[in-house]
Amino acid sequence: MKGLMEPIKTLVSFKKGVVYPDGVNERKLNEMRGMYVDDFTFETLLSQDNPLIYEVKEINIPQEKGHIIYSTTTIYPGKVGKEYFMTKGHFHLREDTAEIYFCLEGEGYLLMQTKEGRASAIHMKPGVLGYIPPYWGHRTMNTGDREFVFLALFPGDAGHNYEIVEKHGFSKIMVEENGKPVLKDNPKYTL
């Protein structure tokens, strides 16, 4: 670590996440091309509108070993076809780093998978903490009808690898069937 950092305080609203973020990283529908199963519905939706799918409210913490980076993610309610609005998903560049997600508001799933395609999902609602062990890629989806908000904490030197997800996708998808979220095999998944 380089030098001594001064302690900081962060206000976090349960409903809205970080109150005074240093930065907000927005992902709209057009940045999610190829991520959903139903490409036709995706393009139809996009030709009408480009909604905000999720936003990450960040605090500036050095991206270095020894630090803990934290942020809140808000995923808006909605679906592309039957598939719920979700994050892009990633592995950590340093694969031996873990992460904690703590749900503050709304409802959703934390979907994890190994590079071999083994999947595991945790149902998230306020008060649920999901532990993402080292080596598991992670993606979240909003299965409720209002904003799904969670706090994420991860090692400063974890880094992000989106390429694996862009290339192979996740082995499972979360779709609505008879008004309920159901985890299914992703027909687009390639190992």
- Between 66 and 105, how does the x/- string for binding to ligand S6P read (CB under 6 A)? -----x-x-------------xxxx--------x------
CA distance 183 to 131: 19
Helix, strand and coil in the chain, % to nearest 5: 10, 45, 45
Asked if 36 interacts with ligand S6P (CB under 6 A), we say: no
Minimum CB distance to ligand S6P, residue 179 (Å): 26
The residues, any chain, with a CB within 8 Å of residue 190's CB and separated by 6 or more, are 167, 168, 169
Minimum CB distance to Zn ion, residue 47 (Å): 32
Angle, vertex CA 161, rays to CA 159 and CA 164, nearest 5: 165
CB 61 within 8 A of CB 52: no
- Between 136 and 175, how does the x/- string for binding to ligand S6P read (CB under 6 A)? --x-------------x-x-----x---------------
CA distance 107 to 102: 11
Q: State which residue, 70 or 84, has the beta carbon closest to Zn ion.
A: 70
| Of 159, 148, 156, the residue nearest 70 (C-alpha) | 156
- Between 71 and 110, how does the x/- string for binding to Zn ion read (CB under 5 A)? ----------------------------x-----------
- Which residues sit at the interface with ligand S6P, rule CB under 6 A? 56, 71, 73, 87-90, 99, 138, 152, 154, 160
